[in-house]
A = this chain, B = another copy of it.
């Protein structure tokens, strides 16, 4: 989570909403790390979670990331949650809860649907205060 927070912090300083993610393999080795790049890349899908999933899958030459753990500073939205399910990621660890845009514990609750064919283990609220503080100070500075 510290690496994800560092990536988020750097993204915030670059003008992106500060969310960072890291993907770990079954041995805890880092496969990919990324932060939100929606504005930088002009890509509405370039959330941190999507970027680490895509980077790791490309590197491993498989769309199925069995045994992996995704760590992200904010509760994933429905897009990222479904991508995590499609990628067969074993475990999701996230920082701040996101009542306004989350798709795991809020809103679409993607993993709870019968249309979701893989449900990762989920641990939310890890380093929640630090992750939320990054987002709060980013949005406060932009208002």
- Taking Cβ atoms with an 8 Å cutoff, the residues of A that contact B are 38-39, 41-46, 50, 53-54, 57-58, 60-65, 77-83, 86-88, 98-103, 106-110, 113-117
User: Which of B42, B58, B82 is close to A42, meaning CB atoms less than 8 Å apart?
Assistant: B58
A62 touches B42 (CB 8 A): yes
Q: Contacts A79-B82, A103-B78 known; A53 to B63 CB distance under 8 Å?
A: no
* CA A107 to CA B82, docked complex, whole Å: 11
Q: Contacts A57-B43, A106-B115, A107-B115 known; A63 to B86 CB distance under 8 Å?
A: no
B contact residues around A44 at 8 Å (CB): 53-54, 57, 63-65, 83, 86-88
* CA A80 to CA B54, docked complex, whole Å: 15
B contact residues around A87 at 8 Å (CB): 44-45
* CA A110 to CA B58, docked complex, whole Å: 28
User: Can you list 23 A-B contacts with CB-CB less than 8 angstroms, sorted by A residue number?
Assistant: A38-B63, A41-B63, A42-B61, A43-B57, A43-B63, A44-B53, A44-B54, A44-B57, A44-B64, A44-B88, A45-B83, A46-B63, A77-B86, A78-B79, A78-B82, A78-B108, A79-B83, A98-B115, A99-B115, A101-B115, A106-B115, A107-B110, A107-B115
